[in-house]
Amino acid sequence: MKFCIILAMVALSVIWGSTWMAIRVLVILVPPMHSASLRFLLASVILLPIIQWKRLPWPTGRGLRAAMLLSLSMIAVPSALTFWSEQRLSSGLTGLIFGAMPLMTAFLTPWMAGRSVPRTAWQAMIVGLGGLGLVLSGAISTSLWQALGALAVLLAVLLYAASSVYAKEALAGVHPFVGTSIQFFLGGIWLALASLVFERGRTSTWSTQAIVALVFLSVFASALSFTLYYWLLQRIEAYQLTSLQLVVPVLAVAEGALFMMEPVPWTMITGAAIVLGSIVFVMRAKRVDEEGIALHLDQ
């Protein structure tokens, strides 16, 4: 695998690992749909000068229609569900549910894209999900309040997974900067309209923490991470890329131990080792018969 692909995946994992904590901080102080709309509108403003400077072409036809559809299915609806749910769930539990994304993506790939998923990858993702449960086994409690939030996150994961499979083909000819910018701008508009309807009368508290969280979510967790995401999606399979969601909660736990001095029991260490091992197997899984997937890493 090319070094630049590995580097991009590592960067994406680190950013994703910090995203849930930033969302959690922001939604405590700012209504969820309003904060999500600001996140994506600001990110689109950041990307626009880069597009103009590089003189990148804007998509037409199928590429434009795909970007418009993904602004709802990849940006607006999943973000609204996720931001709303983080008022009810811990960031760690949200990350655990997102760990189901690679399995959902693998399930949808044959149906939506007509390509099978290697058996080795299936097995590795299942093992990795089990390791992820071990990582967070001591941090999960159950209540009706959490169940509603978990259901919302699960729906967001399903939308992300389906959108990832669809975007691999539909945005194949669209530059990642351009496709991402269109989705952010339109997604931000949809979220702003939803905020006007559902969050009327709610106030925002813009503390230093909230501003820092918004800047991080806009610059790193949106403009940079989604550009890396779509760049990688043009080079590896969707189920491989979404398998990074297995390692995100592990990184979140590590960040908590490093920056907040949170304890790390042996179950977390063991589970983290299982997750990292499963990622290696998912990325190395190759076609073993005529129905398998060839990894086009040199596109």
Alpha helices in the chain, H assignment, sequence order:
3-29, 32-54, 61-70, 77-85, 91-98, 101-113, 119-135, 144-170, 176-198, 208-218, 225-233, 238-242, 248-260, 266-284
pLDDT on residue 153: 83
d(CA 32, CA 226): 20
| Residue 214 identity | L
pLDDT tier for residue 292 given thresholds of 50, 70 and 90: very low
- What is the average per-residue pLDDT within 145-162? 83
| Residue 72 in tokens | 């709802």
Average pLDDT, the chain: 79
Residue 143 has pLDDT above 80, yes or no: no
pLDDT at 56: 92
At 114, list the tokens.
């007509």
> Mean pLDDT over residues 7-19, rounded?
87
Structure tokens at 283: 């990325």
Structure tokens at 231: 């760049």
CA distance 136 to 123: 21
Q: What integer pLDDT is reported at residue 261 of this predicted model?
A: 61
Q: Which amino acid is present at 253?
A: V
What is the percent of the chain where pLDDT is above 70?
A: 68
Position 190 scores a pLDDT of 96
Q: What are phi and psi of 188, to 5 degrees?
A: -65, -35
Contacts of 7 (CB under 8 A, 6+ apart): none
Beta carbons within 10 angstroms of residue 114's beta carbon: 8
Q: Each residue of 158-201: pLDDT tens digit?
A: 899 899 889 888 998 899 889 999 999 999 999 999 999 999 88
The pLDDT score that the predictor gives to residue 81 is 92
Q: Give pLDDT, residue 18.
A: 84
CA distance 296 to 282: 15
Can you tell me the distance from the alpha carbon of 159 to that of 31, in angstroms, rounded to the nearest whole number? 22
Q: Identify the pLDDT of residue 279.
A: 58
Query: What pLDDT is stored for residue 293 in this prediction?
Result: 34
Predicted local confidence at residue 122, as pLDDT: 62
Tell me how far the alpha carbon of residue 204 is from its chain's centroid.
25
Q: What is the pTM of this model?
A: 0.75
Confidence of residue 295 (pLDDT cuts 50, 70, 90): very low
What DSSP string runs through 120-157?
HHHHHHHHHHHHHHHHTGGG----HHHHHHHHHHHHHH
Distances (CA, A) of 290 to 125, 180, 266, 294: 22, 34, 42, 10
Q: What is the pLDDT of residues 99-115, one digit of tens each?
A: 667 777 777 777 776 66
- Overall average pLDDT of the 147-160 stretch: 84
DSSP letter string over 157-184? HHHHHHHHHHHHHHTTTS-HHHHHHHHH
Asked which of 40-54, 74-88, 94-108, 138-152 is least confident by mean pLDDT, the reply is: 138-152
Check residue 287 and give its pLDDT: 43
The pLDDT score that the predictor gives to residue 252 is 66
**Is the per-residue pLDDT at 297 higher than 50?**
no
For residue 72, give the 3-state DSSP assignment: helix
Spatial CB neighbours of 88, under 8 Å, sequence gap ≥ 6: 145, 146, 148, 149
R_g (Cα) of the chain, nearest Å: 19
**pLDDT at site 296:** 36
Separation CA 15–CA 198 (nearest Å): 30
DSSP state of 56: P
113-140 pLDDT per residue, tens: 666 666 666 666 677 667 666 655 554 5
The size of the chain, in residues, is: 299
pLDDT of residue 224: 92
More confident residue, 236 or 126: 236
Per residue in 255-267, pLDDT tens?
A: 666 765 655 566 6
Q: Which residue has the tokens 């939506």?
A: 112
